[in-house]
Amino acid sequence: MDPINLPNIRIITVSGKIASGSTTLAKKIAQTLHWKHIEGGEIFWEAVRKRMGLHSQDTNLRPDEEDTLFDAQLKKILHEDNHIVLETKLAAFNAQGISEVYKIGVICENEKGEDQLQIRIDRLVNREQVSVNQAKKDVIDREQRDLEKWRKLYMSGDENWVYFDKKYYDLVVNTYSHNQDEALKLALRGIGYSG
């Protein structure tokens, strides 16, 4: 089937913390619109990890040049491509100021705005079939190392900066209060697709 054209939107970015639900939402949007889904972090990190012989949690050991090269490639996609759902943690941050890119942030927060870390850990346990301790390490340690690296690379070491700041998004979808189908409906409404 041909990809569905949206007025003034050629790329949709989906970003979120680990196990927030961003991959599921990105895939569902891509399927609905017949667009290509690119999970940049997975493609990039797997290639670097295999080449360097690193464990999946060793994000702090990858050279900074790998991150900056990857983000340059992302920006090229964001400027030039069409009909793509691009899913990476920094996609919305990288898309600031680029036209015809709709940015969706996925969170898992309660009514008080508190991140539901335990739910995200449970999701990772179920998805990856790993122990709770391993999932905890994956989520907490990896997120902290990524933040430290990106703060140094892109924000002059600003310890308060986070890529999941809601100011970077056109729409924020909460998977704590919405199931997968509801999240998809919110996203489709946000991009102006009625089906």
For residues 122 and 127, what is the distance between their CA atoms, to the nearest angstrom? Answer: 9
Q: What is the pTM of this model?
A: 0.90
Closest CA to 115 of 19, 49, 6, 15: 19
pLDDT score at 21? 96
The pLDDT, as a whole number, for residue 28 is: 98
Question: In angstroms, rounded to a whole number, what is the distance separating the alpha carbons of residues 185 and 117?
Answer: 24
pLDDT per residue rounded down to tens, the chain (195 residues): 899 999 999 999 999 999 999 999 999 999 999 999 999 766 666 666 666 666 655 666 667 777 788 888 889 999 999 999 999 999 999 999 999 999 999 999 999 999 999 999 999 999 989 999 989 988 999 899 889 999 999 999 999 999 999 999 999 999 999 999 999 999 999 999 988
Task: Give me the pLDDT at residue 161, please.
Answer: 97
Regarding the domain delimited by 11-190, which CATH topology (the fold level of the hierarchy) does it fall under? Rossmann fold (3.40.50)
pLDDT of amino acid 70: 80
93, 85 Cβ separation under 8 angstroms: no
> Which residues, in sequence order, are CB contacts of 17 under 8 Å at separation 6+?
89, 107, 108, 115, 120, 139, 143, 164
- The full set of domain ranges for the chain reads 11-190
Cα separation values, 147 from 2, 47, 60, Å? 38, 21, 10
Q: Which helix (H) or strand (E) holds 181?
A: helix 180-191
Residue 40 is predicted with a pLDDT of 79
